[in-house]
């Protein structure tokens, strides 16, 4: 349910609530519904404190968020990384020096970087906050998530993870500036790779108008919403089915920065900024969202990352 001036109102096949019969469970069918996850990094010590960086980990079914506060000279390394991951440098500055394989590249702050599989090294060139997002195929980072126990069993209604096609020209360090002006009809600043999609939403300078919310649902993928600045109220509602044991109470969870909310399908959800200045969410989907990918001009690096050949 989007306002007419919301770019998502133009997507085909949108819906706000599936009929309850679509999720009626039988002994042979999928079980009920998963709970949402709220990982408030500000309420707990860092999960890792090494090499000049304090890092907190939280996860969804297919992705892991690693949020770091790093000092100049800090090094964040990966050994034997199975697939691509994304690095977000959300603020201007000197940025980082990235080495992956035989390639070394300096990347300024206020950038999003896709780092190739294999061994990689990120050297922080000045004090910074940064975000890395991995697939949960990488069991070592998945196990570090403070909410890892919530995924001891796979959550229902999410298909098994399938990566998207390899990038044009093969794997390498790919950096994209976040200095992208808004454009009428485009939703946020969306980038994808073989494993995930990230949408850098704009700052919300004031609390959201609660008469213009956007409750909607996703049938078969979860959404991660990382709060980088300010705070948000996440409103989540699950369908009712004939089986009352599957019913869940609504969530109205207030999450300040830094935090991660993971919204499971098919819960109806919307989020509202609450602080008087500078509220920002970063949305994460793994694998990439097909509906966003099919919108002309929405994915800013679409030329580098083709869609699956059998895309509906």
pLDDT (tens digit per residue) in 162-219: 999 999 999 999 999 999 999 999 999 999 999 999 999 999 999 999 999 999 999 9
pLDDT tens profile 273-305 = 999 999 999 999 999 999 999 999 999 999 999
Q: Give the pLDDT confidence score for residue 123 in this predicted structure.
A: 98
Helix (H, G, I), strand (E, B) or coil at 88: strand
Paired residues of 254 in beta bridges: 233
> Which pair of tokens denotes residue 34?
């998963």
Give me the residue label for tokens 């890092």: 55
> Which pair of tokens denotes residue 65?
């968020």
Residue 291 CB coordination number (10 Å): 14
Confidence of residue 16 (pLDDT cuts 50, 70, 90): very low
Q: Give the pLDDT confidence score for residue 268 in this predicted structure.
A: 98
- The distance of Cα 8 from the centroid of its chain, to the nearest Å, equals 17
User: What is the dihedral sign for C-alpha 134, 140, 143, 144?
Assistant: negative
User: What global pTM score does this model have?
Assistant: 0.92
pLDDT tens profile 110-165 = 999 999 999 999 999 999 999 999 999 999 999 999 999 999 999 999 999 999 99
Please give the helix or strand (H or E) that residue 282 lies within, else none: strand 280-285
Please give the domain boundaries of the chain with CATH numbers for all domains.
7-162+169-293 (2.60.120.10)
Q: Give the pLDDT confidence score for residue 311 in this predicted structure.
A: 65
CA atoms of 114 and 193, how far apart (whole Å) = 7
pLDDT tens profile 75-86 = 999 999 999 999
Question: Is the previous residue joined to 275 through a cis bond, with omega within 30 degrees of 0?
Answer: no
Half-sphere exposure of 161 (CA within 13 A, CB side): 21
Question: Is the previous residue joined to 268 through a cis bond, with omega within 30 degrees of 0?
Answer: no
């Amino acid at each position: 349910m989007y306002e007419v001036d919301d770019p998502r109102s133009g997507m085909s096949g949108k819906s706000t609530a599936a009929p309850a019969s679509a999720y009626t469970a039988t002994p042979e069918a999928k079980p009920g519904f998963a709970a949402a996850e709220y990982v408030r990094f500000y309420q707990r010590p860092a999960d890792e404190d090494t090499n000049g960086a304090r890092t907190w980990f939280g996860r969804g079914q297919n992705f892991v968020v690693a949020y770091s506060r790093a000092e100049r000279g800090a090094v964040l390394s990966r050994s034997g990384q199975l697939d691509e991951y994304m690095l977000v440098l959300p603020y201007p500055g000197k940025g980082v020096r990235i080495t992956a394989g035989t390639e070394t590249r300096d990347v300024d702050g206020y950038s999003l970087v896709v780092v190739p599989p294999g061994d990689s090294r990120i050297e922080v060139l000045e004090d910074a906050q940064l975000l890395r997002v991995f697939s949960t195929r990488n069991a070592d980072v998945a196990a570090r998530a403070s909410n890892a126990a919530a995924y001891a069993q796979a959550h229902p209604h999410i298909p098994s993870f399938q990566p998207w096609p390899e990038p044009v020209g093969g794997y390498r360090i790919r950096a994209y500036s976040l200095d992208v002006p808004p454009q009428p009809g485009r939703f946020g600043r969306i980038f994808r790779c073989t494993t995930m999609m990230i949408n850098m939403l704009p700052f919300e300078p004031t609390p959201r108008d609660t008469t213009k919310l956007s409750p909607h649902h996703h049938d078969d993928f979860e959404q991660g919403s990382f709060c980088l600045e300010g705070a948000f109220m996440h409103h989540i509602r699950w369908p009712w089915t004939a089986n009352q044991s599957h019913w869940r109470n609504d969530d109205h969870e207030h999450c300040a920065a830094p935090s991660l909310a993971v919204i499971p399908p098919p819960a109806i959800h919307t989020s509202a900024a609450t602080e008087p200045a500078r509220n920002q969410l970063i949305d994460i989907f793994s694998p990439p969202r097909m509906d966003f990918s099919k919108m002309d001009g929405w994915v800013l690096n679409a030329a580098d990352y083709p869609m699956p050949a059998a895309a509906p």
